[in-house]
Amino acid sequence: MDEANTERRRDTGLAFFGAVTAGISHDLNNVISTIDQVTGLLADLVAGAEAGRPVPLERLQTVQERLRRQTTRGAGIIKRLNTFAHSTDELRREISLDVLLADLLAIGQRYVDLRKARLEAPAAPAPLRIVGDPFRLQQAIFAALQRLLGSAESGDTITVALAGGKDGAAVTLTGPLGAAGSDQDAGRAQLEGLLAGLGGRLERSVAADRETLVLRIPGEPPPAGGGAEA
């Protein structure tokens, strides 16, 4: 790979890392802001009790339940952030593809919601492990999702499915077809480049105003005994 290509790859990787962490920081800020309001509500109730207005038990239970929901949500976000950040640690490692995909789609859900679209991703029928580059793999899947989301309107559905084979895996994304143009071409070229960097390829088809992107990812199964997970 020449120097310009290496530099471009580094730039798109950084842009992807930035986009994901910016989205996660927004999600975390929403959790903190909600906890801030709920603790404020608790302080209001305490002040009321001190002034002689007793607090009904169910009111306290509601506050407790809200705090529990938000801390659970925050813990999930931080766990995904941590996993995502560590996906840059090694260029080749054992990847639990079904777990990686579920985490990545949870991160991408925010962008789906902003489009008022729906994401359908049935759980993988069985754990699927390959050896590969987890960061670049996430970048490719995310780029495919963003491409389909770019054309999504309120109520549109994007489906994501994972399948394994003898010599790797396939992630299939289907969503609304975008209008032809230079942006679409550039996005496709970027996706093809990302998959080529992984030693894989993109298969694309169009039917009834919907585009299907099959991301073919090569990867030998992990050695017996397993190893680190993405």
Binding residues for other proteins, total number by CB under 8 A: 21
CB of 25 to other proteins, least distance (A): 8
Collapsing DSSP to helix, strand or coil, 125 comes out as coil
Alpha-carbon 18 to chain mean position: 13
Alpha-carbon 17 to chain mean position: 11
DSSP letter at 76? H
Q: Which is nearer to other proteins, 63 or 170 (CB)?
A: 63
Residue 29 contacts other proteins per CB under 8 A: yes
Q: Which is nearer to other proteins, 25 or 64 (CB)?
A: 25
Options 21, 34, 109, 212; binder of other proteins; rule CB under 8 A: 34
Residue 78 contacts other proteins per CB under 8 A: no
Q: Which helix (H) or strand (E) holds 55?
A: none
Q: Which is nearer to other proteins, 157 or 172 (CB)?
A: 157
Collapsing DSSP to helix, strand or coil, 141 comes out as helix
200, 217 contact by CB (below 8 A): yes
Residue 36 contacts other proteins per CB under 8 A: yes
Options 2, 154, 180, 206; binder of other proteins; rule CB under 8 A: 154
Residue 174 contacts other proteins per CB under 8 A: no
Q: How do 168-176 and 157-165 pair as beta strands? A: antiparallel
133, 91 contact by CB (below 8 A): yes
Residue 19 contacts other proteins per CB under 8 A: no
Q: Which is nearer to other proteins, 34 or 172 (CB)?
A: 34
Residue 114 contacts other proteins per CB under 8 A: yes
Options 8, 9, 17, 66; binder of other proteins; rule CB under 8 A: 66
How far is it, in rounded angstroms, from Cα 69 to Cα 86? 26
31, 77 contact by CB (below 8 A): yes
| Tokens, residue 16 | 């992807």
By CB under 8 A, name the binding residues for other proteins.
Answer: 25-26, 29-30, 32-34, 36-38, 40-41, 44, 66, 69-70, 113-116, 154
